[in-house]
Amino acid sequence: MDTISQLLARKSVRRFLQKPVPEDVKQTLLECAAAAPTAGNQQLYAVVDVTDPAIKAELADICDHQGFIADAPIVLVFLADCRRWLDAYALAGCAPRDPGLGDYYIAFCDALIAAQNVVVAAHALGLGSCYIGDIVENRERLVDLLGLDEFTVPATLLVLGYPTAQQLRRRKPARFPLAAVVHTDRYRRLTPDEQKAAFAAKGEAFDTFVPPFCRRKYESAFMAEMTRSMRAYLAPFRG
């Protein structure tokens, strides 16, 4: 399959065969992460390859009780890492300021782009993957569990493994039409009619789909916790 067909066909996979992923395959995925574009070629990220089943189980609980994380053959936590270069600057005799939000921004971009390279490489190798955004919840527990530093912030978690037959059969969720997300030259808010048409094009009835979705996602307890936790993660970035 060529790259374009693979990008179009990829879908999230949340259930895996209990078939181990060979070590050389995992190394290839990690090499693909390292080969991703990175601001100033700094690689402002760290990857924690979680192999201990007890740590996987704790991560599943921290991430809004998503049990499938504990059963995933590969669990990778991508950190925006503003510590490693800070230490290098200090070691080289510079007097570095604390990292600021700009530093955090490029580190976060680096981490996510590296993760997406893993997602694409995994698909090409017959593996499924799923992002877990809830990794930014419960800061205090995660800091303890992974030994995080004040300048290492989780960006995302990826679970990976060989997909079950049921997961292979599952349909990839539809996307909004391009007209709803692509703008020419300047951003323009959608009109009410365009909004409804965008949902209809995805097969979702606006009036019955959006209100419960708002309650379940936007107004959810998990999102409130993500926001609380992110504020705490970013408080030390005063530079």
Binding-site string for ligand FMN from residue 52 to residue 71, where x marks contact by CB under 6 A and - marks none: --------------x-----
Q: What are phi and psi of 35, to 5 degrees?
A: -85, -5
Dihedral sign for Cα 204, 189, 132, 144, please. negative
Among positions 93, 173, 192, 212, the unique one binding ligand FMN when judged by CB under 6 A: 173
The C-alpha atoms of residue 69 and residue 14 are separated, in whole angstroms, by 8
CB of 16 to ligand FMN, least distance (A): 13
The C-alpha atoms of residue 130 and residue 15 are separated, in whole angstroms, by 10
Does 11 bind ligand FMN (CB under 6 A)? Our answer is yes
Looking at the Cβ atoms of 119 and 145, the one nearer to ligand FMN is 119
CB of 115 to ligand FMN, least distance (A): 9
Residue 77, SS3? Answer: strand
Inter-CA distances, 237 with 74, 106, 141, Å: 31, 13, 20
CB of 198 to ligand FMN, least distance (A): 16
Among positions 97, 172, 202, 231, the unique one binding ligand FMN when judged by CB under 6 A: 172
The C-alpha atoms of residue 81 and residue 108 are separated, in whole angstroms, by 8
Does 12 bind ligand FMN (CB under 6 A)? Our answer is yes
In the window 102-141, what residues touch ligand FMN (CB under 6 A)? Answer: 130-134
How distant is the alpha carbon of residue 84 from its chain centre? 21
Residue 239: partners with Cβ closer than 8 Å, 6 or more residues away: 97, 98, 99, 100, 103
Does 21 bind ligand FMN (CB under 6 A)? Our answer is no
Does 238 bind ligand FMN (CB under 6 A)? Our answer is no
Looking at the Cβ atoms of 166 and 191, the one nearer to ligand FMN is 166
Q: Which range, of 6-14, 38-46, 213-221, 228-236, touches ligand FMN by CB under 6 A?
A: 6-14
Report the chain's C-alpha Rg in angstroms.
20
Judge whether 6 and 123 are in contact, CB under 8 Å. yes
CB of 203 to ligand FMN, least distance (A): 14
Does 164 bind ligand FMN (CB under 6 A)? Our answer is no
| Residues binding ligand FMN (CB under 6 A) | 11-12, 14, 66, 130-134, 172-173
